[in-house]
Copies of this chain bind each other. A is one copy, B any other.
């Protein structure tokens, strides 16, 4: 396995249902992970990009979130539609999407 061009870590942290912080898993983190996987599969992108789920990334107010390395860009409030945009513009196009990033006080 060659080192991937980009490594995507989608938060799938789970908290108890009554926890006021909520969690990425309750707010669609699994669907975000699955959206990346489905597009990677459909477009033949496995190998170029690696996908993992992670424990809490610490941007709970902007869940569901994900961080992409090696550049270390963190996105928040993700929807499956955002995933398509991230693949097109960031992973394939090489340009991170400022409008989807978490605020600089969360991750600068």
| A interface residues with partner B (beta carbon < 8 Å) | 1-3, 7, 9, 12, 50, 52-59, 67, 69-72, 74, 105-108
Contact = CB atoms under 8 A, between A and B. Distances in A.
Contact of A58 (B1, B69, B74): B1
Question: Among the interface residues A3, A12, A74, which one has the most CB atoms of the partner chain B within 10 A?
Answer: A3
A38 to B, nearest CB: 16
Nearest to A70: B70
Contact of A54 (B52, B106, B107): B52
A90 B105 CA distance: 27
Contacts of A67: 7
B106 A72 contact: no
